[in-house]
Amino acid sequence: MPPKIRGVSTESTDDYLKAILELSGQEEVRVTSNAIAHHLGIRAASVTGMLQKLASLRPPFVKYEKHHGVRLTEAGKCRALEVLRHHRLLERFLHDVLDYPWDEVHEEAERLEHFISERLEDRIAAKLGDPDTDPHGHPIPERNGALPRREEVSLLKWVCGVPGVISSVSDRDPAALRELGRLGLMPGVCLHVEAGNRSASVLVRIGSNIELVRLSQKLAREISVMAGPDTLAPERQ
């Protein structure tokens, strides 16, 4: 568990570290205070103070420069990956074993991720057969903290006419997840982008269906796509 910060809960520390990890992406770019505030649904002014506290720990969890954003240190990244592993394993357990719908597992896992022991984590992973992804297609960090890299892009950037496979969908909007489930737009499903003004909507063919489906830009933004096993990844638009 991370060291205690006076006046700040362990859960808050974990939430910040996980948010920075998710926002920084595979390239580990610096993350702005505004982006963290939006991600966590809090005021930007509150973020600055917390980042300063995380940077003052020994060892520090973040490297923070005012007006230049923040990035995780090795200690911060290690803890963030541990919490992310807890979260995604819990989502998979809730979905596969306890039959939670995929639009409800995120909030439940958010509440539980801070408190499970490493022993329970290992037992959950063993019970599930050491899964690679959560129900939304996001990779689960390995026990040693390794997080597989994937070449995935937003559906809004996928090239028309090139077959792709849904690799993951955002887990942050339950209503969007219910709509994606209704349409059958889940990880592993093949699709083609047929046409569309990307600033308004996208027309897609799902699997072998004849009928086309028009997705709003908001819904399409929830979907990430990658090349299938027999398809070369197209150039990004």
What are the pLDDT tens digits along the chain (237 aa)? 555 555 456 888 999 999 999 999 877 889 999 999 999 989 888 898 899 999 998 899 999 988 788 999 999 999 999 999 999 999 999 999 999 999 999 999 999 999 899 999 999 999 999 999 999 999 999 999 899 888 899 999 898 888 999 999 999 999 999 999 999 999 999 999 987 666 678 999 998 888 999 999 999 999 999 987 655 444 433
- Indicate whether 5 belongs to any domain: no
CATH number for the domain that contains residue 111: 1.10.10.10
Residue 179 sits at φ, ψ, to 5 deg, of: -70, -40
Closest among 77, 118, 76, 112 to 92, alpha carbons compared: 112
- At residue 226, the pLDDT reads 94
Q: Which residue matches tokens 């489930």?
A: 181
- Indicate whether 68 belongs to any domain: yes
* Residues 236 and 158 sit within 8 Å (Cβ to Cβ): no
Last residue of a domain, one of 129, 149, 169: 149
Task: Tally the domains of the chain.
Answer: 3
CATH number for the domain that contains residue 180: 2.30.30.90
Last residue of a domain, one of 149, 180, 201: 149
SS3 call for 86: helix
* Residues 71 and 63 sit within 8 Å (Cβ to Cβ): yes
166/188 same-domain check? yes
- At residue 159, the pLDDT reads 87
- Indicate whether 208 belongs to any domain: yes
Polymer length of the chain? 237
* Phi-psi sector, 40: left (phi>0), alpha (psi -120 to 50), beta: alpha
**Cα separations in angstroms, 54 against 1, 16, 20:** 14, 9, 12
65/86 same-domain check? no
68/94 same-domain check? no
Q: Please tell me the pTM assigned to this model.
A: 0.87
93/127 same-domain check? yes
- Indicate whether 18 belongs to any domain: yes
- Indicate whether 2 belongs to any domain: no
Question: What separation, in Å, do the N-terminal and C-terminal C-alpha atoms of the chain show?
Answer: 42
* Residues 197 and 213 sit within 8 Å (Cβ to Cβ): no
143/170 same-domain check? no
Q: Which residues contact 209 (CB under 8 A, 6 or more apart)?
A: none
- Indicate whether 90 belongs to any domain: yes
Last residue of a domain, one of 22, 44, 72: 72
Residue 25 sits at φ, ψ, to 5 deg, of: 70, -175
Structure tokens given for 235: 């150039």
DSSP 8-class letter at 172: S
* Residues 128 and 89 sit within 8 Å (Cβ to Cβ): yes
Domain that holds residue 43: 10-72
- Indicate whether 163 belongs to any domain: yes
- Indicate whether 234 belongs to any domain: no
Q: Which residue matches tokens 């039959």?
A: 99
- Residues 215-226 as b/e (b if ≥16 CB within 10 A, e otherwise) read beeebbbbbbbb
**Cα separations in angstroms, 217 against 23, 172, 186, 223:** 20, 16, 17, 10
26/51 same-domain check? yes
105/160 same-domain check? no
